[in-house]
Amino acid sequence: MGYKVVVVGATGNVGKEMLNILAEREFPVDEIAVLASRKSLGTEVSFGDETLKTQDLEQFDFTGWDIALFAIGSDATKVYAPKAAATGCVVIDNSSLYRYDPDVPLIVPEVNADAIEGYTKKNIIANPNCSTAQMVVALKPLHDRAKIKRVVVSTYQSVSGTGKEAIDELWDQTKGIYVPGQEVQPKVYPKQIAFNVIPHIDVFLDSGETKEEWKMVAETKKIVDPAIKVTATCVRVPVFVGHSEAVNIEFEEFLDWEEATEILREAPGVMVVDKREAGGYITPVECVGEYATYISRIRQDSTIENGLNLWCVSDNLRKGAALNAVQIAEVLGQRCLKKG
C-alpha cells in the first residue's frame, strides 16, 4: 500500500518541482491529486510519465487523503491547511505561516527528523525558509562536534525564490539593456535586478532587518539550537536558480578546518567540493537540479579564537523547498504513517 497524496499549488515553480521529486524518488504514491486556484483550473502538469489536470482547491475534499504538500502563499494556506488537517490529512506546508508556531514542527530531515513526532498536535508540519534549510544542513554536524556560539551569514539569493514573475523580470531586463527602447522597469523588485544586487528580501521590520533576515535567525534557533546567535544580511542577486551563502561560524571550542571538512564529507545531504585552486568550488549554476547542499571554501577565521568560514550553495527550489518537503513526507511515512 502507498499513499494518497495531494499537491496544492501544482502549477507554480515549487509545486511542479514537488511533482518531479515525488516521481524521481519513487515516493510510494497510490493516488495523486493536483490542485490550483480557479484561474488555473484544468491546467496540465507532469508527474513522471503521467499528465494530470489541476482541480479546484476551493472545492476539493481532503477526506481520505494521507498527505498534502502545500506550495501556496500564507493567505491561502491559512484558509485551506486547517481544513485539510481537520480531515486527518497531514499537511506539509512550504509557506511561512506555521514555521514559528510552537505546536508545529519545523523540519529539515538531516537535522531534526525526531521532531516530526510533534505533528499530531495540529496535523501540520512546516518546511523552513529556503536560505535557512541549506545552512542548517551544514551547521548541524559541526554543532554536534564543537557547539556553535554565533553565525554571521550573508546570502546571495536567486530570483526563483520570488517566483516566475521575478525570473521573467530578470530575463526581460537583461535583454532590454542591450536593445534600445526595450528597457524594462522594475515591477517585482524595488530596483533593477539585472546586473545588480539588492540588499532587501521581504519586508523591513522596525529593527532595521528584513523579514528574510529575521526568518534565518528564528528558524536556525528552532531547528538546531535556541542558544545559537545568528545575524544575517540577505541579498537578491541576478541568478535564476540557486542560493549561495557566505557563512562565518564561531564555536565554543577550536575546530580545525581539516576536521570540519571531514565531518561535512560524512554529513547527510552535504557534498564537499573544496579544492584550493581556480574553479575548485561550487557556484549556483552547477547546483541546479541537484539534491545536495554543496560546501566549498572551508577555512579557518584567524580574526577570532574558534572560527571557520565556508561557502554554501544549493538549488533553492529543491533543497530549499520541494525536496525538503518530500523528504519530510518520507520521514513521516517511515516513522509515523507506516504505509508503502
User: Within its chain, how far is the Cα of 31 from the centroid?
Assistant: 26
Residue with cell 579544492: 275
Q: Give CA–CA dist 245/295, Å, rounded.
A: 10
Cβ-contact 236, 159 below 8 angstroms: yes
Specify whether 336 is catalytic. Answer: no
Q: How far apart are the first and last CA of the chain?
A: 5
**Given the residues 89, 143, 243, 312, the one annotated as active site:** 243
Instruction: Tell me the C-alpha to C-alpha distance, in Å, between residue 130 and each of 177, 243, 276.
Output: 30, 8, 28
Q: What is the DSSP letter of 111?
A: H
- Please say whether the dihedral angle defined by the alpha carbons of residues 227, 99, 158 and 224, taken in this order, is positive or negative: positive
Angle at 48 between CA 45 and CA 50, to 5 degrees: 60
Which among 130, 234, 287, 312 is annotated as catalytic?
Answer: 130
143 catalytic? Reply is no
Q: What does the alpha-carbon distance between residue 76 and residue 70 come to, in Å, rounded to a whole number?
A: 10
CB contact at 8 A, 269 and 113: no
Q: How far apart are CA 252 and CA 148, in angstroms?
A: 6
Tell me which H or E stretch contains 3: strand 3-8
Backbone region of residue 138 per phi and psi (left: phi > 0; alpha: psi in -120 to 50; beta: other values) = alpha
Question: Which residues participate in catalysis according to the annotation?
Answer: 130, 243
